[in-house]
């Protein structure tokens, strides 16, 4: 009887689950990057026309609904993309390039060199596969995909890449709103 009561007390005091479910993808409420805890700011589904492409989750040190403030902050941040369908490497890099043209055109030649550097890490992504984009001050932007990991030094590339989701002309306005917790 005491064992049952103790187990029940632990279960009742556990509180809410520590993950959010978006389109069947479990997202933890927090992740650790460079020794710092990042909290889930928001998450949603990237759609192209009516097709669901991936679940995108934004993790930051300080919650915010201001996309430019998040981009501008020289603090660790992460976007995790969990794909809901197969997408080839060329399409992913093309989407990144389109986002650079829409939101960071002035730095395009430098950004294209960054894309060349991360391209081999991305590879083709199968349904359920992931790409994780992480910025750490002083280190740069690390992109981890099915084919490996690559890092681009500096903040310019990070800012441009995060503007693809949070900038004035994101690829998916609804995903931006959800990443910003709206």
Per-residue pLDDT at 3 = 38
Q: Is residue 58 part of a domain?
A: yes
Query: DSSP assignment of 73-95, as one string?
Result: --S-EEEEEEESS-B-HHHHHHH
Per-residue pLDDT at 73 = 96
Q: Is residue 8 part of a domain?
A: no
CB-based contact 34:59 (threshold 8 Å):
no
Per-residue pLDDT at 18 = 57
Domain that holds residue 61: 20-179
Give the span between the Cα atoms of 161 and 2, in whole angstroms.
55
The residues, ordered by sequence, that sit 6+ positions from 48 with a Cβ below 8 Å of its Cβ are: 172
Give the span between the Cα atoms of 145 and 121, in whole angstroms.
5
CB-based contact 33:58 (threshold 8 Å):
no
- Per the confidence metrics, is the pTM higher than 0.85? yes
**Domain tally for the chain?**
1
Per-residue pLDDT at 109 = 93
Per-residue pLDDT at 59 = 98
Q: Can you list the alpha helix ranges (DSSP code H) found in 21-154?
A: 67-72, 89-103, 108-122
What are the pLDDT digits (tens) for 54-93?
999 999 999 999 999 999 999 999 999 999 999 999 999 9
Mean pLDDT by 10 residues, the chain (182 residues): 37 47 96 97 95 97 97 97 97 96 95 95 96 97 97 97 97 97 84
Q: Is residue 158 part of a domain?
A: yes
Q: Is residue 12 part of a domain?
A: no
Q: Is residue 9 part of a domain?
A: no
CATH code of the domain covering residue 58: 3.50.70.10
């Amino acid at each position: 009887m005491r064992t049952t009561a103790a187990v029940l007390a632990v279960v009742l005091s556990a509180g809410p689950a520590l993950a959010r479910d978006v389109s069947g993808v479990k997202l933890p409420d927090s992740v650790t990057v460079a020794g710092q805890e990042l909290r889930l700011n928001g998450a949603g589904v990237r759609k192209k026309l009516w097709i669901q492409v991936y679940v995108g989750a934004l993790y930051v040190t300080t919650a915010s609904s201001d996309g430019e403030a998040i981009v501008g902050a020289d603090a660790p941040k992460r976007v995790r993309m969990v794909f809901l369908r197969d997408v080839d490497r060329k399409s992913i890099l093309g989407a990144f390039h389109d986002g650079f043209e829409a939101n960071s055109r002035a730095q395009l030649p430098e950004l294209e060199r960054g894309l060349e550097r991360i391209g081999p890490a991305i590879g083709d992504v199968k349904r359920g596969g992931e790409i994780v984009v992480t910025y750490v001050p002083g280190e740069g932007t690390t992109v981890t995909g099915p084919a490996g990991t690559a890092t681009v030094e500096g903040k310019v590339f990070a800012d441009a890449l995060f503007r693809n989701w949070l900038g004035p002309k994101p690829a998916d306005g609804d995903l931006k709103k959800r990443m910003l917790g709206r």
